[in-house]
Structure 1
Amino acid sequence: MEIIKKTDSFVKKLPRKTTSFSARNWEEKQVIDKKLIKSMFEAGLHRGDLTQNWNPKMAPYIRGEFKGKHVINLVQTLLYLEEVCAFLEKEALKGKKFLFVGTQTHSSVVVKKTAIRTNSFFVNEKWLGGMLTNWKTAKRLVRRLNFLLMLEKTTYIQKLSKKERNDFKKEKNKLKKYFLGLRSMQKLPGVVILASQNQEMNALKECQRLKIPSVTILDTNSDPTLSDYFIPGNDDSYKSLNFLFKFFRLAIKKGRNKRQQLTIN
C-alpha cells in the first residue's frame, strides 16, 4: 500500500494536457488517474524484472527497487498508455489493420482473445522468421491452410487411405498452429502490437525492417529506443497484460466506430 500512497504524489505532478482525457477538467482527471493507477498496481504492472537484468535506458520509467526487483513508475505507465491508446484510435480511424503478437504461455491467450474481439490478426504460438519480411511465402502457407480446412469439410478425407489421412491431419495441424490467426490477412498489417519486446524481438526486427509501426510492452530489461510506441510495465504476467490489452481493444473499437460514423454521414 505504501507504493500506492507514494504514487499519489506523482499523480499531482501529471501534465494537464494529455491525449485521452483532454475533454475532462483537471480535478476529474486526477480522480480517474488515481483509480487507474490503483488498478494498475492491483494488476501487478509495477513489478519489474530482477535488478541485475535491467537496461539503464529504462531508468526514467523506474520508481525504485523491492526485494531484488525494480518497481516500475505507474504514473509513467499511465501516461504512455494514454499515448498508445490515442495512436491506436487514430490508426483505427484511418482503417488500418492490426496484428497482435504474444507467443509466451501468459500472453498467448490475451493476444488471441483481443485479436478476435477486434477482428484483427494474431500470432500466439511461435514467430516464424519471415512472417512479415517474407510475406509472399507466408501468404502461400496461409492459402494452403485455408485450402486444407476447406477440404476437411468435404467428403475428400473419406477417400484417403489411413496414411494419407494422417499426413493430411499432420500438415493441417502444423499450419494451423502457426498461421491460424493470419487466415484472413491479405497484406501486411498497418500496426503490430507486441506483448513483450524481449520475448518477441524477431517480430520487432521485422517491423523495423519494413517500417511498420509497433507498440510494445517494455519491462525493466527492455530497450525503449527500439520501439515506436511503448508502455513501461510488467510483461511477465497474464493479469497485467490483460489489463493493458483491454484498453487497446477499447481504443481500436472507438476509432472504428468513429470511422463508421464518418462513412454514414
Structure 2
Amino acid sequence: MLAYRKSLCYNLQGSTWKKRIFREKSHVLTYRPVPDLVVCKNDTHGRKQNHGGKKMSVISMKQLLEAGVHFGHQTRRWNPKMAPYIYTERNGIYIIDLQKSVGKVDEAYKAMSDIAAEGGTILFVGTKKQAQDAIKSEAERCGMFYVNERWLGGMLTNFKTIQSRIARLKEIETMAADGTFEVLPKKEVIALKKEWEKLEKNLGGIKEMKKIPDAIFIVDPKKERICVQEAHTLGITLIGIADTNCDPEELDYVIPGNDDAIRAVKLIVSKMADAVIEANQGAEALEEVAEEAAVAEEAEA
C-alpha cells in the first residue's frame, strides 16, 4: 500500500488567507485548491468570509496564528489524547492544528451563546498568571462571574459555605461604607481590612453569583484540576482551552490552543465573552463593543 503524506501550506498575500492541501506520492506532487478565505474589513467580529459572503467562522486562522495559538508544549511534555489536535513537531515543540482550533472555537462559541441565551450563568476560571487579567476583564465585560486568583476547594461542591464567606465579605463592605470603621479601634479596623482584602481577592468575582453556574469556561484544565473535578461531580458543562499537555476528554467543549501566551489566551477568552454579549444583547451590541475596542487600541497606539 502506498503511503501518502498530507501537509498544509499557508500564504498571506494582502488580505487574502490562502490555504491549499498538498499530497505527495513518490516524487509526484499534486494539490487540491480550497476556496480562498478572505478576512472582510467591515467584519468587526474578525470572522472569515468566502467570496460568496457566507460567514465561515467567528475567528480567523490569521488571528490565531498572530496570537501564537499554534504553539504547544515541548514534545516530552504532552498528553497522547491531544494527538488528534497536533499538526506537527518543530524544534522539539508541538504545533497545534489551527484548522481544528478554528472549528472548535466555533463549537465553543455556539455552546456559550446557547447557554447565555437561555438565561444561564457562566463562570470564567483562569488562575495562572497569563490568564488572570483576561479572565477578569472579559467576564466583567460580558456580565458573568470569574475566579482568577485561587480556586478554593469546595467552591462548587460546598457552595453553601462559600456563600457564608461571601456574606461576610459584603458585611465588611457595608461596615466600610456606613462609617463603622471610624468608630472601631484602629487595631480591629486593620484586621478587618486584611480580612476584606483576602475575601475580595478570592471571592470578589463571584460575590453576586446566587447559584452554581450552568457552565464553566476554563483556561488550562490541568492547572485547574480541582475545579474540573468539582464540575464533573455536579454535572456542570465545561468549556475551555487545552494545550498539548492537557486531557481534552475532561472538557465538554475543547479548544486546542496555547494556554501559556497572554495574547493567545486573551484572544480566545474575548471570543467567548463575545458569544455571551451577542446572546444577551444581540449582534448590534457586539458590533458596538468591537468598534469601541478598535478605537481604544488606535488611541493607545
Q: Which segments of 5 or more consecutive residues in structure 1 lack a partner in the other structure?
A: 14-23, 259-265
Q: How far 1:243 sits from its partner (Å)?
A: 0.7
Counterpart among 131, 144, 147 of residue 123 in structure 1: 147
Q: Does residue 252 in structure 1 map to residue 292 in structure 2?
A: no
Name the SS for the 2:87 alignment partner. strand
Structure-1 separation of matches of 2:221 and 2:73: 13
Moved over 4 A (4+): 24-30
Query: 1:193, 1:84 → 2: CA distance?
Result: 9
- Relative distance call for 1:27 and 1:218 in structure 2 (3 A) is farther
User: Does 2:26 correspond to 1:4?
Assistant: no
- CA distance in 1 between partners of 2:126 and 2:250 (Å): 17
Counterpart pick for 2:161 among 137, 142, 148: 137
The higher-RCO structure (CA 8 Å, 6+ apart) is 1
Alignment check: 8 A CA contact 2:10 2:20 kept? no
Shift of 1:155: 1.5
Tell me the distance in 2 between the aligned counterparts of 1:241 and 1:44.
Answer: 9
Cα distance in 2, alignment partners of residues 158 and 132 from structure 1: 36
Query: Deviations 1:130-184 (Å, cap 9, x if unpaired)?
Result: 0001000001101110111111112210111121111111111111110000110
Of Structure 1 and Structure 2, the greater strand share is in: 2
Identity %: 33
2:228 is aligned with 1:204: yes
Taking structure 1 as the reference length, what is the TM-score of the superposition? 0.87
Structure with the higher helix share, 1 or 2: 1
Q: Distance in 2 between matches of 1:217 and 1:3?
A: 25
Equivalence for 1:16? none
Q: Which runs of 5+ in 2 are unaligned?
A: 1-7, 13-17, 22-32, 36-48, 283-301
CA deviation digits over 1:180-232, x for unaligned, max 9?
Answer: 00110111111110011111111111110100001110100111111111100
Pairing partner for 2:213 from 189, 209, 216:
189
Number of positions where the alignment pairs a residue of Structure 1 with one of Structure 2: 248
Is the counterpart of residue 99 in structure 1 residue 111 in structure 2? no
Query: Is 2:52 the counterpart of 1:46?
Result: no
Q: Is the 8 A contact 2:68 2:263 kept in 1?
A: yes
Say which SS state the counterpart of residue 53 (structure 1) adopts: coil
Matched-pair contact (CA < 8 Å) for 1:4–1:41: no
Give TM-score scaled by structure 2 length: 0.77
Query: CA offsets per residue over residues 216-258 of structure 1, 9 Å max, x none?
Result: 1010011111111110000001100111112111111111135
* Equivalent of 1:67 in 64, 75, 91: 91
Compute the displacement of 1:5 (Å).
3.9
Contact 1:114 1:246 in 2 (8 A): yes
Looking at structure 2, the residues matched to 12 and 139 of structure 1 have their Cα atoms a distance apart, in angstroms, of 54
